[in-house]
Structure 1
């Protein structure tokens, strides 16, 4: 019985992995200004990078914020349709179910922790030619936040 259960779990895992690999990944690098980066409750905004990465693969989507010390905070959700939130002054809300924390060690190795969470990335209204992504999530390791504003090159012309 145990062997049969383990076999089913292995096959289920392989089928999920095959499905994930079969789906193409879209990766967009957005340039602009990082306004806020909080890692496990600690404000590290001065170290935040000048770009964020938006990745979409299958049903998952993430927004990745980086700091100058090599730390990356990924706010990841199922890619469910964004909910319009006009009554609270927010254009849309993207649910976040995990924060993936990647920390670069002094020896060059990278440690990754996947933290389950309930959170969201929202897209508040910004000025013409600008867009903002504001993510926040509470985890067992503390609060994670990231706010980033992009500026369209066409807006300055």
Structure 2
């Protein structure tokens, strides 16, 4: 079972790397208030930053939450199966297949871990006004969550 998980993680990493070279990156910075940030089951909301980055490259879409200690949590999934979810009050729901955790070390180096997961990001379609992005995923290292409410200003590249 462990061999299968490691093989799947390697294949996902290779697929993302190949796709990243072939497609340009579209990136938007959303400003607002972080309502919740959970890293590996630990609530670190007080350290959460005042922006979320939404990046799209090829078919992969990420929502990147950051903490003041340099930790970044990226909820990543293919953007293709986004579906309207009017019954829960959001315009789109996207499956999350990986969480990428980047941690800044004391020596300034950055370590990254890609964790296979089952999760979801719910968010409104692009448009004016305040909106909320909410992501949650369960991994072998614990639960990861991020909830962010925008300030209503248009996203910045």
- Give the TM-score, by structure 2 length: 0.81
Could you say which residue in structure 1 is the equivalent of 2:95? 95
Larger relative contact order (Cα-Cα within 8 Å, sequence gap ≥ 6):
2
Paired with 2:147 and 2:16, the residues of 1 have a C-alpha distance of: 32
Unaligned runs of 5+ in 1: 1-12
1:92 to partner: Cα distance: 1.6
Tell me whether 1:117 sits opposite 2:117 in the alignment: yes
SS in 1 for 2:131: strand
CA RMSD after TM alignment: 2.3
Residues 1:106 and 2:101 are matched in the alignment: no
CA offset at residue 88 of structure 1?
A: 3.0
Q: Is the 8 A contact 1:80 1:95 kept in 2?
A: no
| Gapped regions of structure 2 (runs ≥ 5) | 1-12
TM-score normalised by structure 1 residue count: 0.81
Q: Which has the larger radius of gyration?
A: 1
Q: CA deviation at 1:98?
A: 0.2
Q: In structure 2, what is the equivalent of residue 152 of structure 1?
A: 152
Residue in structure 2 matched with residue 60 of structure 1 by the alignment: 60
